[in-house]
Amino acid sequence: MHYRRLTPSMSLLLVFEAAARHESYTRAAEELALSQSAVSRQIQTLESQLGITLFRRQGRSVKLTELGRRYAAELGAALGRIRAATLQAMSHQEGGGALRLATLPTYGSKWLLPRLHDFYRSHPGVTVHIHSRIGPIDFNAEEIDAAITVGTDDWADLRAHCLHNEFLVAIASPEALACKPATPEWIASQTLLTVASNQKGWAQWFSHYGLDHRQMKIGPSFELTSHLVQAVRAGMGVGLVPRALIDEEERRGQVLEVGAPIVSERSYYLVYPERNETLPALAAFRSWLLAQPQ
């Protein structure tokens, strides 16, 4: 088979990748600053060159065929490697360049950012661009080099470095604890606030202290830990939060701990695709991050 047929032009591939990611010619056209008709023509050219059907029209929309979906997955990974290689080449000095880092919002503001000045002191040639993310990162679809996230030791297809354990502590407002015993048994009688990403936390806490799970009164759930802490301060209930994220509020006396922290089933990790492992900026940041005290 002719190699040219197996190597479509980059312009065709970029158009297909955008159209496949959105499953929309219109949104692909907006992203690439092209007309919708230009996107359609380039998809038709690619289909003709490959001899396969990548999209099927359904009314006014388009849907990937099964072949198109598999091709898009492979192509997304390949384009990710090309972008990583380009970024690495652009990092003209050892340890230099830019790192696009995703991190949990509250973890980023409470733990990472207060320490980042130390990283810049020893690596002045590196720029870390911080992106807040809560859910899983699609490294093929997003322009993200690495992420700091929380989870268990299950990171398929990713390099993962455990940074430190997550210690969970129950917190209440000083007003709620006025003239009340600050005991786990008291917590069991309160409205329990949760973070959406850790719905099992209170069950683990109750088991640790030997409390009856049937006593749990689960209240509102929050996407961000910082919002849960604000709700605790406002007297909406008691919260279960990572111990490392409430240092400031504790110093100011805005929240109080109830019971000792427990070791969570989760830990914090630095994760990234294997193709990014040798990026100079990531290598520098990884070495610094792993050297931080837990």
Residues 109 and 179 both lie in one domain: no
Which tens digit of pLDDT belongs to each residue from 213-263?
999 999 999 999 999 999 999 999 999 999 989 989 999 999 999 989 999
Amino acid at 19: A
What is the structure's pLDDT at 88?
63
**How far apart are the C-alpha atoms of 88 and 176, rounded to whole Å?**
53
Instruction: Render pLDDT for 169-223 as a digit per residue (tens, 0 to 9).
Output: 999 999 998 877 888 999 999 999 999 988 899 999 999 999 999 999 999 999 9
Band (6; pLDDT cuts 50, 70, 90)? confident
**Cα diameter, the chain:** 82
Cα(93)–Cα(125) distance, integer angstroms:
8
Question: Do 278 and 148 sit in the same domain of this protein?
Answer: yes
Specify if 181 maps to a domain: yes
Q: In the chain, what is the straight-line distance between the N-terminal and C-terminal CA atoms, in Å?
A: 56
Q: Are 282 and 146 part of one and the same domain? A: yes
Are residues 170 and 259 located together in one domain of the fold? Answer: yes
| 122 and 161, same domain (yes or no) | yes
**233 within domain boundaries:** yes
Is residue 134 domain-shared with residue 159, that is, in the same domain? yes
Cα–Cα dist 240/243, whole Å: 9
Cβ-contact 163, 134 below 8 angstroms? no
Q: How confident is the model at residue 80 (pLDDT cuts 50, 70, 90)?
A: confident
Does one domain contain both 102 and 145? yes
Domain assignment of residue 62, yes or no: yes
Query: At 211, is the secondary structure helix, strand, or coil?
Result: coil
Structure token pair of residue 126: 């590196």
Whether residue 204 sits in one domain with residue 249: yes
Distance CA 107, CA 226 (A): 9
Whether 83 maps to a domain, the answer reads: no
Q: Is residue 176 situated within a structural domain?
A: yes
Question: CA nearest 243: which of 181, 169, 138, 148?
Answer: 169
pLDDT value, residue 93: 47
Question: Has residue 83 got a pLDDT over 80?
Answer: no
Domain assignment of residue 85, yes or no = no
| pLDDT tens for each residue of 96-153 | 688 999 999 999 999 999 999 999 998 988 999 999 998 888 888 888 999 999 988 8
Q: Quick one: which of 112, 95, 110, 103 has its CA closest to 289?
A: 112
User: 252 and 177, same structural domain?
Assistant: yes
One DSSP character per residue, 30-59 reads HHHT--HHHHHHHHHHHHHHHTS--EEEET
Whether residue 84 is contained in a domain is answered as: no
- Surface-to-core class of residue 170, CB atoms within 10 Å of its CB (0-12 exposed, 13-18 middle, 19+ buried): buried
Domain with 63 in it: 3-78
- Three-state secondary-structure class, residue 124: coil
Q: What's the CATH code of the domain at 281?
A: 3.40.190.10
pLDDT of 95 higher than 60: no
User: Residue 40 domain-assigned?
Assistant: yes
Domain count, the chain: 3
Whether 94 has a pLDDT exceeding 90, the answer reads: no
For residues 151 and 220, membership in a common domain is answered with no
Q: Which residues contact 123 (CB under 8 A, 6 or more apart)?
A: 95, 284, 285, 288
Q: What is the DSSP string of 158-196?
A: EEEEEEEEEEEEEEE-HHHHTTS--SHHHHTTSEEEEEG
Are residue 230 and residue 254 in the same domain, yes or no?
A: yes
